[in-house]
Chains A and B, each alone.
Chain A
Amino acid sequence: MSLLAEVWEAVRAIGQGMAAVNRRVGESAVTEFYPYQKPEIPPVSVQFLALIQNEDGSDRCVSCLACERACPSQVITIERKRNPAGKGFVLERFDLDFVNCMHCANCVEVCPVSAIVTVGDFEHAVYDVNMLKADKAFLDEIGRRAQVWYSPKFGVEIRKPDGSIEKAPPEMQPGGLAELLAGEEGA
C-alpha cells in the first residue's frame, strides 16, 4: 500500500510540474532578429562613450580635466594647450582606453559642459584589443554618428535630421516625470 501511495505521490508531483509548464506553452515566444533588427536601447543606457561636438563642428570640451580626475580606472589621458585665439584651453589629445573602462559613467557625470556623453551604440566588439584604445578622432566620430545621447547635465539630447541638437521630450528624460505631471496639472 505504501508503495502504491509513493507511486501515486510521484505521479501527482510530475503532473503538478507539467501543469505549471503547460500554463506557459501558449505564451508568446520572442525571437530577436538581432543583426537585422536592432534591439531598442534606453537613451540613458551606458553602452559606449562619445565626445560631442557643437553644431558648428567645434569641440564642446573645454579641457577642464574633470573627467580625467574622476575616472576610477584612470583610463582617460588629456593633453591641452593654451588657446591661441582667446582664453581657455584647447585639446591636443584625448585618449580613452576602453579596454579598462568600466562604463561607470563617472566621467560623464562630472563634465561641466556635457562634452563626454554616454551613447547606446553597443556594436564595438573587435578582434584586436588595441582597437579599443580610442583617440579623439574616434570618439568624435562616434559622437557624430550618435542620434541620441545622455549626460546628467543636459539630459537626453537628440540630433535632428538637419544636424541641429536639441533636448529630447520629457517622455525620454529621466526625471521627466515632474515636467509631465506639471503639464497635466496645467492642462
Chain B
Amino acid sequence: MRGPTQILPTDRADEMLINMGPQHPATHGVLKVVIGLEGERVTRAVPHIGFLHRNHEKIEEARTYPQIITYTDRMDYVSGLQNELPFILAVEDLLGVEVPDRAKYLRVIFFELYRLASHLVWLGTGMLDFGAITPFLYTFRDRERILEIVEKTAGARMLPNYFTFGGVRRDVHPDFFKDVADFLDFFEKRLPDYYALVLDSPVFQARAVGVGVLPKERAIARGASGPVLRASGVAYDVRKAEPYDAYPEIEFEVPVREEGDVYARFWVRFKEMEESIKIIRQAIEKTPKVGPYKGKVPARMKVKGSRYRAVEISRGHLGAHVVGDGTDRPYRIKHRSPSFANLQLIPDLLVGARFADAIAILSSLDPVFGEVDR
C-alpha cells in the first residue's frame, strides 16, 4: 500500500533524502520528517507522526468524568495544567456548575504560570536548535522556580491534576501569592537578558528575519493557531474571542506581528511572556483573599448533551468536544490540539528553505508530541 505520506526512494540523481528523527536531537520529541535535499535547498518535506500515539480519546471514553481530568494533563506535557481546562469547562457547562470567583482567578494565575513555563522551555530548546546552549541553562533554571511554586500548592510539577469541576482541587499554600509576586519581580529582571541573548541579537536576527515566511492566508487555510497564527498577522486569541474564567475582567493585549517569519514567531512569544506577567499581576490583585475555591458539583456526575469549549494554551487553540449520553462516562470525547494543526505547515514552510533553516523553522513552530499524537 502506498499512502499519501509515503516517500519512495528518489529516482532523481540530484536529490538526496534525509530522515530527520524520530530520535534526532533537533526534532522536538518524536517527530520524523523526511526531507528531500537538492544541495542546500529542501525540495520536499513530509512529516511522519504517530510514534507517541496512546489512544487518548478512546481511553477517556472508558473512564468516568473525574478520572478523565488526569488523562487530559498528559497531552501537552510541557504546559500540563492548561490541558485540563477545556474538558472541565465543557463538562461544567453541561452540568450547570457555578465556579466561584476565587477559583476563576486562581485558574488564571496557574494558567499563565504554565504559559511562562512552557515558553521558557520553548525558548531554551529552540535556541539549542539554533546552536546556542546558554539560554537553555538559564531558562530551565527560571522554569524550575515556577514549578516549585506550583508543586507547593498543586502537589506535582508537570502534571499536577489540579483543576477540577467547579474550581480547583485545594486552596493555595499560604505563601503562594507572595511567591508568585516574588517570581514575577525576578523574572521581569531576567527578561531583558533574554532579549539581549536572543531577540535583539544581530546573530539571531541574521538567521531568523525573513526565514520561513508564512502568509496570512496560508496560516488560516491550514488551521494554524496560537503564536504561529498571530505572527502572521491574525489577531485571534481564544482568551479574547471566547473568554473563559476570569479573563473578561483582565486587561491585556494580544501581540500580533505581520511578517510571519521565524523572527515574528519568536517576537510574539516574547511579548506573550510580558503579557502573562501583567495578567498574573492583575489576577493576584483581584483574587478574593478568602472564599470558596470550589463550587458545588453533583456527587454522581451524569452528563447529557454535547458541548465544545476551547482555551488558548501556550501553543494555540485547544478544544474539547464532550458528548455525554446521561451515564457517568462520556459517549465521545474529541480534543482539538494546536500543535497537530500547526504541524501541517511543515511542507508549506520547509520547501524551498535551506536545510539549516529547516531546523530553525521547526523550533519556531514549537510542537509538543504528547499532544500531536494523543
Contact = CB atoms under 8 A, between A and B. Distances in A.
Interface of A: 9-10, 12-14, 16-17, 19-21, 23-24, 42, 44-46, 70-72, 102-106, 109, 118, 150, 152, 170-171, 173-178, 180-181
Contacts of A180: 174
Nearest to B172: A174
Interface in B3-34: none
A71 B159 CA distance: 16
B188 interface: no
A24 B202 contact: no
Given A13-B201, A70-B67, A177-B289, A105 B155 contact: yes
Interface in B109-140: 134, 138
B281 interface: no
A23 B193 contact: yes
A118 B171 contact: no
A170 to B, nearest CB: 7
Contact of B196 (A10, A20, A105): A20
Contacts of B201: 13, 16-17
A12 B174 CA distance: 46
A150 B71 CA distance: 22
Nearest to A170: B174
A20 B197 contact: yes
Which of A10, A14, A70, A175 has the most chain B CB atoms closer than 10 A to its own CB? A175
A174 B162 CA distance: 13
A23 to B, nearest CB: 6
A12 B151 contact: no
Contacts of A46: 155-156
Contacts of A19: 196
A-B pairs, 7 with minimum CB distance: A175-B171, A72-B67, A20-B196, A104-B70, A13-B202, A178-B290, A42-B152
B172 A70 contact: no
A135 B201 CA distance: 58
Nearest to B160: A46
Nearest to A155: B170
Contacts of A181: 289-290
Contacts of A175: 170-172, 293
A178 B293 CA distance: 12
A126 B182 CA distance: 38
B210 interface: no
20 contacts: A13-B201, A16-B201, A17-B197, A20-B197, A24-B193, A44-B152, A70-B66, A72-B70, A102-B70, A150-B155, A152-B169, A152-B170, A174-B173, A175-B172, A176-B171, A176-B173, A177-B173, A177-B174, A177-B176, A181-B289
B155 A44 contact: yes
Contacts of B66: 70, 106
Nearest to A169: B174
Contacts of B221: none
A177 B197 contact: no
B152 A104 contact: no
Contacts of B152: 42, 44
